[in-house]
Amino acid sequence: MLNKPAPQLASNNASSELLKVLHFARLKHRVLFRCSPWRIFPRATRTVNATKSCVRTWNRRIYSLSGDSQVDGVCMTFLGDVGQARQFDPFVVFREGFAFVPNIVQAQSALPRAMQAHAKLEEAVVFRDGAISRIHKERILLSVAAHRRDKYCVALDSGVLSSIGVPQAQIDDLLKDYRHASLPAPDQASLEFCLKLSRNPTSVRFEDIEALRTLGLGDRAIVEVVVVAALALYRCTLSLALGPEADFKSPELPMANIETAREATLAAGATGSRPKTERRGPYVLAPFLSRSTFQPFATVQKSHGFIPNFFRAQTLRPDLLEAELDAVGLILLPEDSLTRAQKESILLAVSAANLNSYCVAVYFNLLRGLGLSAEEADQIAVDHHLSNLSKADIALLDFAVKLGTRFSEFSREDTAKLRTLGFSQEQILESIVVTALNNFSNTLQMGLGVEPDFEPPAVFEKNKMNLPSPQPTLMAREGVVHLVDTSLDADSELVAQAQSGNLRSFEELVCRHTQLIYRALIAILGDAADAQDAMQDTLLSAFKHIGGFQGRSKFSTWLVSIARNAAVQRLRGRKNMESLDDNDNQEDHDFRPRQIAAWQDNPEQTHSKFEIRQLVERGLLQLPAKYRIIVMLRDIEQLSTDEVAHQLGLTVPAVKTRLLRGRLMLREWLAPHLSTSARGATQ
């Protein structure tokens, strides 16, 4: 079956080479004929089993997290025996897809679930047949690795390409300049796109996707191109930090690869400003998948409280989605090594450093859901050094940010530093894998143009991901440095004057927000007289504490939090205190409307404004306070869901759940008054 010799192997072990040659024959058959080769190579199977001891030596040529300078030493907790490992599912997957288990996978042996996650991703992205060929996927992986100057990945991808029959001359051309590799136009264009995505993800535009479409790439192929580029960066991040020994002899990397003329043009284009009428994402079709029929969505709804658009944008490949969700579950959910909060903090800090406002907003909200305050999560996004995290956790984020975004500066000393701070091998490995997952997610999000689920945190400028070069305004006040966009809050000038003791400015400020404060108070207290008394307490308290307002949120948000505290103080004096903080239980999610009579076409025409207002006020007072305040702030004060969440210190998913429930309960209450059958009674 082999038309040419297998690639030169890094190992000198003859038996190992024989084993690889046999495996490569199988792999080549699989790639070219898209069927299992085992029926064709039963003898090869037996040979593989007979020579497994040779693999042990070959597979263990890794240096890594120990800080030991020896290259051939086994420095991590490997699975005890390769013979046992053959039963380990991820190894089976890699043998099927690569014909061997790459060293980069074995370097994750201290955390078997990390290997499982890696196998899930590789299987779905690279090994499984899709709209683009395996050969082209390998070309993308090679080109991105070459651009990152990742010798391990270049050696791996070159070796695999060679083993599946790609001429060495073409591999050399891909390493030097892909434009000379005689590729078909769609393949060349998709390679160019992947290089742009990996090099400068914030520069990717809808037009880049359209250009691929005009060359004949379908949306499914485009999703695959993006996800292969993302996986290339996942591998490169792992490779950089784990430092596995090459599986194959490393080819020389030409210097010219760093910046071809075309890439320079692309990069230059990225520094320009975005057109005002730019077409927004998502860039590809995303067929509807319901959480009630697509089990992975039900799972993510349960774990995240919502289904991020990130996942909805990939529904053209449900199998891929499933693999990603499995990988996310394996990497992020267990807390046997790092805690979930530590991992989400890594994701937030690295996404912020990557200027990915989509992911910043998601991880910000997930951290809020884990109990972190909005201020603390803000601070991690902006500058984790000034957060209240422990010295060790700050060092952990330093490590991840450097690995994820300043890869040319990363060295083994960074790993050693974490060890001296008491992090275990498993924890260091997990932080590396989480960072790799983050780079995978950030790349995928940028490539697919996924639209935000939430507004990014106030201190992280809106549309940050669209800015080619960050020019944050840094402001230091009381030891906190954060990004400030004063245009976001029209009150900032008056606030500064009031903070310096100007009573007239304070009066003007509070007059601007009278209705907001009053509605927040009545929503919590459910009584007009109480709300008016609490209003006075709120204003006095606001003046007393205005010096401590740091501008990390809008002034109105801060005022509502003062009003909320004043109202809660009053509630505590009541016999039957109503809680605003009850967790949303299953009943909240399962609430179903019972009133199914149609409503009048124009209730406003059959009822006076006064009648409508009275009906609404009575209806709102029937609602439990935790729903009432959200409906009032969202629907009467017209605040966005994100603003309501921020003002009440809730997560956005919690606000969404309560808002729907509150609206439906109010609808149930209004229905008997406004349905078609009620028309006669009210006229």
Site residues (vs other proteins, CB under 8 A): 282, 285-288, 290-293, 309, 312-313, 315, 503, 506-507, 510-511, 514-515, 518-519, 522-523, 528, 532, 535-536, 539-540, 543, 592-593, 595-599, 603-604, 609, 612-613, 616-617, 620, 631-632, 635-636, 638, 641, 656-657, 659-660, 663-664, 666-667, 670-671, 674-675
Alpha helices in 123-218 (DSSP H): 134-147, 151-163, 168-176, 185-199, 206-214
Region class of 243: left (phi > 0), else alpha (psi between -120 and 50), else beta: left
Rounded to a whole number of angstroms, the minimum distance from the CB of residue 363 to other proteins is 19
- Please identify, using beta-carbon distances, which residue of 191 and 498 lies nearer to other proteins: 498
Determine contact, residues 185/215, Cβ cutoff 8 Å: yes
Rounded to a whole number of angstroms, the minimum distance from the CB of residue 286 to other proteins is 5
Dist. CA 543–CA 500, nearest whole Å: 11
Dist. CA 132–CA 126, nearest whole Å: 10
Rounded to a whole number of angstroms, the minimum distance from the CB of residue 506 to other proteins is 8
Dist. CA 286–CA 315, nearest whole Å: 5
- Which SS3 state, helix, strand or coil, does residue 468 take? coil
- Please identify, using beta-carbon distances, which residue of 581 and 601 lies nearer to other proteins: 601
List the one residue out of 513, 517, 461, 515 whose CA is nearest residue 491: 513
- Please identify, using beta-carbon distances, which residue of 384 and 656 lies nearer to other proteins: 656
Determine contact, residues 653/306, Cβ cutoff 8 Å: yes
Determine contact, residues 435/351, Cβ cutoff 8 Å: no
Residues 6+ apart with CB under 8 A from 397: 345, 346, 349, 380, 384, 389
- Please identify, using beta-carbon distances, which residue of 390 and 536 lies nearer to other proteins: 536
Phi, psi of 243 (to 5 degrees): 55, 50
Dist. CA 475–CA 332, nearest whole Å: 34
Helix 340-353 / helix 391-405 crossing angle, nearest 10 deg = 40
Rounded to a whole number of angstroms, the minimum distance from the CB of residue 384 to other proteins is 30
Rounded to a whole number of angstroms, the minimum distance from the CB of residue 574 to other proteins is 20
Report the DSSP beta bridge partners of residue 244: 62
Rounded to a whole number of angstroms, the minimum distance from the CB of residue 508 to other proteins is 11
Burial class (CB in 10 A: 0-12, 13-18, 19+), 501: exposed
Rounded to a whole number of angstroms, the minimum distance from the CB of residue 353 to other proteins is 28
Rounded to a whole number of angstroms, the minimum distance from the CB of residue 583 to other proteins is 18
Alpha carbon distances (Å) from 422 to 120, 399, 415: 31, 14, 11
- Please identify, using beta-carbon distances, which residue of 377 and 615 lies nearer to other proteins: 615
- The type of residue at 34 is R
* Number of CB atoms found within 10 A of residue 403's CB: 25
Rounded to a whole number of angstroms, the minimum distance from the CB of residue 582 to other proteins is 19
- Please identify, using beta-carbon distances, which residue of 121 and 516 lies nearer to other proteins: 516
Enter the tokens of residue 513. 């927000």
- Please identify, using beta-carbon distances, which residue of 90 and 308 lies nearer to other proteins: 308
Alpha carbon distances (Å) from 266 to 197, 200, 237: 10, 9, 23
- Please identify, using beta-carbon distances, which residue of 144 and 566 lies nearer to other proteins: 566
Region class of 576: left (phi > 0), else alpha (psi between -120 and 50), else beta: beta
- Please identify, using beta-carbon distances, which residue of 519 and 626 lies nearer to other proteins: 519
- Please identify, using beta-carbon distances, which residue of 519 and 564 lies nearer to other proteins: 519
Report the DSSP beta bridge partners of residue 599: 675
- Please identify, using beta-carbon distances, which residue of 159 and 449 lies nearer to other proteins: 449
Rounded to a whole number of angstroms, the minimum distance from the CB of residue 635 to other proteins is 4
Rounded to a whole number of angstroms, the minimum distance from the CB of residue 196 to other proteins is 25
Determine contact, residues 118/89, Cβ cutoff 8 Å: no
- Please identify, using beta-carbon distances, which residue of 304 and 519 lies nearer to other proteins: 519
Determine contact, residues 526/582, Cβ cutoff 8 Å: no
- Please identify, using beta-carbon distances, which residue of 10 and 298 lies nearer to other proteins: 298
Report the DSSP beta bridge partners of residue 482: 475
Q: What is the largest CA-CA distance in the chain?
A: 95
Rounded to a whole number of angstroms, the minimum distance from the CB of residue 565 to other proteins is 17
Rounded to a whole number of angstroms, the minimum distance from the CB of residue 462 to other proteins is 17
Rounded to a whole number of angstroms, the minimum distance from the CB of residue 636 to other proteins is 6
List the one residue out of 431, 20, 417 whose CA is nearest residue 247: 20
Dist. CA 382–CA 380, nearest whole Å: 6
- Please identify, using beta-carbon distances, which residue of 172 and 588 lies nearer to other proteins: 588
E strands, 574-674, are none
